[in-house]
Amino acid sequence: MRAPFTSFVVLSAVSSSLAAWVPLSSLQNRVDSPFLDCLETAGFDPVVQGESEYATDAAPFNLRFDWKPAALVYPNDSAGVAAAVKCGAAHSIKVNARSGGHSYAAFALGGEDGHLTVDLNNLRHLSVSGDTATIGAGNRLGDVALYLWENGQRAMAHGTCPYVGIGGHAGQGGFGLPSRAWGLLADQVQSLEIVTADGSILTASQSENSDLFWAATGAGSSFGIITSFTTVTHEALDSVAFSYTFANYGPAEASKGLQAWQNFANDPSKPLDVSLGLQIHIAPGDSPSGVVFSVSGQYYGVDEAKVNATFAPLLAELGQPSATFIQTQDWITSVLFLAGTTGLDSLNTTLAPDTHDDFYATSTFVSLDEPLGSPSTDAVMEYFYGPGATSEVAWFVIFDLYGGGESVINKVGADYNAFNARDALYSIQYYGTIPNSVSDADGISFIQGMKAAIEDNQPQTFFKEYVNYIDSTYTADFAHQKYYPTHTARLTDLKNKYDPNRVIHHPQDF
Ligand SMILES: Cc1cc2nc3c(=O)[nH]c(=O)nc-3n(C[C@H](O)[C@H](O)[C@H](O)COP(=O)(O)OP(=O)(O)OC[C@H]3O[C@@H](n4cnc5c(N)ncnc54)[C@H](O)[C@@H]3O)c2cc1C
């Protein structure tokens, strides 16, 4: 990765007299092109194919993809981002931001060959003021959580992986276990700074460029490059982590278990406390069936007695767990626990490199109005405990509760921002690491079989999906139907307004 360039050079981006500043090495290593000249004149030392850094810098988190960007640049301020976007626009090279690089379809690398990746790694400023935080878009979730904890014991709702970037995560939703109480990460954003396709640096909030703010909090990858988020923060609460494992389940018990969980989550006569983050995990594991079903989560601001009392009625339906785990944790311990790691340093993503995976994932939102019927839950559990028990694909499925009770995710209203699933009761993420012994096509088909078991056995004909679990196999039109079914027209109009030439663009864009 290249060292940041200087603001002096950014401000002088239009001056061709700066060409002499460009490091000789990159000039020697690349084929001359007006596009690269533009970047170099703007003060960048772009990483291009054929250079030693390229393989590492262009490596996606999801190794199933091998997109070849035309160049990668590393601005260190908004002016630098604007200069890079202008070069892309001037030379008809599509541009994509990279924050954490964790897009399931590697869209930060273009989602196809020949794009310009604007890596935001040098935009890692962080500050807190009262109950708000300002967060550079190059920060990862671990760095944000650690900073907020160490600067006033503040917190936000966000996902569990420390290396996920705030740019893609907040830009397109961002679910975490406190989200029923605090909303998605996108909902906690109060304002943002964004570089639009013409190179303007704009502030967007509910009172300023409000249409752009609406679009960028939910469909963030399509409306510019967000350089900074200002977010609300919350008191970092203690919580109780809980997990009830049912290693003795077979498909019938698991189907009944999912039905019981679903009823418990959305029982109008007993509204579920929004401080409860609730999941089901199902994955291959050490059990007679080869598959393990567990109900788990985090209950914020309560003690263990409250957890035991809350789950007694559900456990009466689920039966005796084969293992139970209950532990009171302070906030940062819960962040580490959910990340599956220990030690505060493990949240500092500058200390160790990111990992990679070779995988396919997709998702389903089950709506509040139409919970799954038993034909659907029977079919999917037969799939998990049948083909799933012996598959070479290393799979897991997570059910994340969004709704129930007075969940803030639902309560903000259907059109609060571009995120288009305010009627979600829960999401289902189907994820599979595909080993070398299995072809991509077979691995993808195996995971899609899970989803088909759910969706083909349910009377409803339409399910929304979660764009942060972006399905790499979708056309743009199909993706819009799934991720933005009632927001596509408005988002397309806004895309025409802010990016008429489709400068900032990926294959599922508007
Ligand atoms: C291990 C793992 C765990 C995860 N856990 C969760 C979870 O708990 N909850 C959850 O909701 N999701 C989760 N996700 C999904 C995650 O939220 C998305 O993959 C997210 O989009 C990744 O953001 P990123 O910045 O790391 O990725 P990137 O690949 O950098 O970006 C993703 C997309 O957003 C665009 N983008 C990035 N930064 C910006 C920016 N600043 N401005 C405009 N566009 C931008 C990119 O161009 C790309 O199209 C997880 C993903 C992984 C791989």
pLDDT tens, residue by residue, 169-225: 999 999 999 999 999 999 999 999 999 999 999 999 999 999 999 999 999 999 999
Does the C-beta of 120 come closer than 6 Å to ligand 1? yes
Mean pLDDT of 368-391: 97
CA atoms 201, 174, 480, 393: torsion sign: positive
55 Cα to the center of ligand 1, angstroms:
21
Phi, psi at residue 220, to the nearest 5°? Answer: -60, -25
Does the C-beta of 405 come closer than 6 Å to ligand 1? no
Domain coordinates in residue numbering, the chain:
7-92, 123-236+334-346+474-510, 239-329+358-473
342 Cα to the center of ligand 1, angstroms:
23
Does the C-beta of 104 come closer than 6 Å to ligand 1? yes
Ligand 1 binding pocket mutation candidate from 57, 61, 77, 99 (most atoms within 8 A of CB): 99
- 13 pLDDT band (50/70/90 cuts)? very low
Nearest CA to 298 among 324, 271, 326, 317?
326
Does the C-beta of 161 come closer than 6 Å to ligand 1? yes
pLDDT 10s digits, 318-375: 999 999 999 999 999 999 999 999 999 999 999 999 999 999 999 999 999 999 999 9
Pick the CATH number of 7-92 from 3.30.1050, 2.30.30, 3.30.43, 3.40.30: 3.30.43
Decide: 413 and 423 in contact? Cβ < 8 Å: no
97 Cα to the center of ligand 1, angstroms:
11
Tell me how far apart the alpha carbons of residues 217 and 219 are, in angstroms, rounded to a whole number: 6
pLDDT 10s digits, 427-446: 999 999 999 999 999 999 99
Tell me how far apart the alpha carbons of residues 510 and 494 are, in angstroms, rounded to a whole number: 9
Mean pLDDT of 294-317: 98
The bridge status of strand 71-73 relative to strand 116-119 is parallel
Q: Cα separations (Å) of 425 from 133, 163, 402, 471, 497?
A: 29, 27, 5, 20, 33
Dihedral, CA of residue 22, residue 24, residue 30 and residue 34, to nearest 10: 30
Give the pair of three-digit tokens for residue 435.
């080993």
Residue by residue, DSSP assigns 58-121 as: T--SBTT-----SEEE--SSHHHHHHHHHHHHHTT--EEEESS---TT-GGGTSSTTPEEEE-T
Decide yes or no: CATH 3.30.70.1050 for domain 239-329+358-473.
Answer: no
Tell me how far apart the alpha carbons of residues 322 and 295 are, in angstroms, rounded to a whole number: 12
- 280 pLDDT band (50/70/90 cuts)? very high
The percentage of residues in the chain with a pLDDT greater than 70, rounded to a whole number, is: 94
Q: Residue 508's pLDDT is what?
A: 98
Q: Residue 10's pLDDT is what?
A: 32
Name the closest-CA residue to atom 33, ligand 1: 168
Q: Residue 30's pLDDT is what?
A: 56
- 32 pLDDT band (50/70/90 cuts)? low
Decide: 257 and 246 in contact? Cβ < 8 Å: yes
Q: Where are the alpha helices (DSSP H) in 373-413?
A: 374-385, 387-390, 408-411
Name the closest-CA residue to atom 21, ligand 1: 168
Angle between helices 251-265 and 304-318 (to 10 degrees): 130
What average pLDDT does the structure give for the chain? 94
Give residue 468's Cα distance to chain centre: 4
Q: Where are the alpha helices (DSSP H) in 91-226?
A: 141-150, 166-171, 179-182, 210-216
The DSSP symbol for 16 reads: G
Ligand 1 binding pocket mutation candidate from 81, 102, 365, 510 (most atoms within 8 A of CB): 102
Mean pLDDT of 482-492: 98
Determine the CATH number of domain 123-236+334-346+474-510. Answer: 3.30.465.10
421 Cα to the center of ligand 1, angstroms:
18
3-state secondary structure of 127: strand
Q: Residue 11's pLDDT is what?
A: 30
Mean pLDDT of 54-79: 98
